[in-house]
């Protein structure tokens, strides 16, 4: 936990990682093994190069990111590439959690993880939104 000005503690990177790993552990058997192979990266804020590449001006607009080739686009004849990775960004997640006020931190981290894992499984944002209207 990170100490804040009024003496309270803000959830730290380790807690977000633990919550993300718990989200993966709670997936159905068939998805869990595929999800466990994805590298998990937790950072306070999205790196500038990621924001620039995505054309995002406000870093608080990005809570998570999938980097890799979706399973549906891979071929055994493709050359080896770096393992797929999911980034979770602590401060944007905490900001959304505070702004929403209607979900637990575990629920929000699970949602972000599942959303990014859906990209790993080959779903588009539109596919995810049709199944999970979380942002409405």
pLDDT tens-digit series, residues 46-74: 999 999 999 999 999 999 999 998 888 87
Is 136 within a domain?
Answer: no
Q: What is residue 112's predicted lDDT score, i.e. its pLDDT?
A: 94
Count other C-beta atoms under 10 Å from residue 43's C-beta: 15
pLDDT tens-digit series, residues 82-126: 889 999 999 999 999 999 999 999 999 999 998 899 898 888 777
Is 21 within a domain?
Answer: yes
pLDDT tens-digit series, residues 15-32: 999 999 999 998 888 888
Query: What's 25's domain CATH number?
Result: 3.30.2010.20
The whole-model pTM stands at 0.84
Residue with more model confidence, 131 or 16: 16
Is 30 within a domain?
Answer: yes
Question: What is the rounded CA–CA span in Å between residue 33 and residue 24?
Answer: 9
Q: What is residue 127's predicted lDDT score, i.e. its pLDDT?
A: 74
Is 104 within a domain?
Answer: yes
Is 48 within a domain?
Answer: yes
Domain count, the chain: 1
Domain that residue 115 falls in: 15-71+83-131
Is 19 within a domain?
Answer: yes
Is 37 within a domain?
Answer: yes
| Backbone dihedral angles phi then psi of residue 88, each to the nearest 5 degrees | -120, 135
Answer yes or no: is pLDDT of 136 > 70: no
| Backbone dihedral angles phi then psi of residue 108, each to the nearest 5 degrees | -70, -45
Q: What is residue 3's predicted lDDT score, i.e. its pLDDT?
A: 45
- Tokens coding 74: 């891979």
């Amino acid at each position: 936990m990170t100490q804040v000005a009024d003496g309270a503690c803000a959830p730290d990177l380790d807690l977000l990682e633990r919550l993300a790993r718990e989200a993966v552990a709670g997936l159905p058997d068939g998805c869990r093994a595929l999800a466990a192979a994805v590298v998990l990266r937790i950072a306070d804020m999205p790196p500038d190069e990621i924001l620039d590449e995505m054309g995002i001006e406000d870093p608080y607009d990005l809570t998570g990111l999938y980097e890799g080739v979706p399973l549906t686009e891979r071929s055994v004849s493709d050359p080896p590439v770096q393992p797929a990775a999911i980034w979770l960004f602590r401060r944007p997640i905490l900001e959304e959690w505070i702004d929403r006020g209607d979900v637990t931190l575990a629920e929000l981290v699970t949602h972000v993880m599942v959303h990014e894992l859906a990209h790993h499984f080959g779903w588009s944002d539109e596919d995810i939104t049709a199944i999970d209207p979380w942002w409405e």
